[in-house]
């Protein structure tokens, strides 16, 4: 099997494995329903689900030369433009970043700035 086909078959497995790492042990029970729905409905500009409230991380951010940067595990990471959500607002009042760690590397899948634009 050629590598592009293998890669295409592996992407759903990788995404489902990353989703499986999210755990809600009741720590999000006090999250209002409209915010919970916003997290569940959040999608990257490519249409990929960002996941859920337990997967998003409130974060600080900086804008450098027109690009967003966020601190993750003590290091500032460039937010890829394909991950920036500019629609749907942001009811949390703070920036939110969704990311996965793959082979020791951080991959930012979604980001919403504090003002949601």
Report, as an integer, the average pLDDT of 83-104. 88
How confident is the model at residue 117, as a pLDDT? Answer: 57
Spatial separation of the C-alpha atoms in residues 33 and 85, rounded to whole Å: 21
Q: What is the DSSP string of 50-102?
A: ---TTTEEEE--EEETTEEEEEETTEEEEPPGGGB--SS--TTSSEEEEEEEE
pLDDT of residue 13: 44
pLDDT at 53: 61
Percentage of residues of the chain with pLDDT beyond 70: 70
CB-hemisphere CA count at 13 Å for 68? 25
**Residue indicated by tokens 């966020």:** 70
Say what the pTM is: 0.69
Burial of 72 (0-12, 13-18, 19+ CB in 10 A): middle
Residue 27 in this model has a pLDDT that exceeds 70 = no
């Amino acid at each position: 099997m050629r590598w592009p086909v293998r890669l295409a078959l592996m992407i759903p497995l990788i995404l489902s494995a990353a989703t499986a790492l999210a755990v809600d042990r009741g720590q999000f029970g006090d999250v209002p329903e409209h915010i919970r729905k916003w997290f569940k409905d959040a999608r990257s500009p490519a249409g990929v689900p960002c996941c859920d409230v337990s997967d998003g991380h409130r974060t600080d951010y900086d804008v450098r030369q027109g690009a967003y940067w966020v601190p993750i595990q003590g290091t500032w990471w460039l937010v890829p433009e394909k991950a920036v959500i500019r629609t749907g607002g942001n009811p949390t009042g703070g920036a939110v970043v969704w990311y996965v760690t793959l082979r020791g590397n951080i991959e930012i899948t979604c980001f919403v700035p504090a003002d949601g634009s």
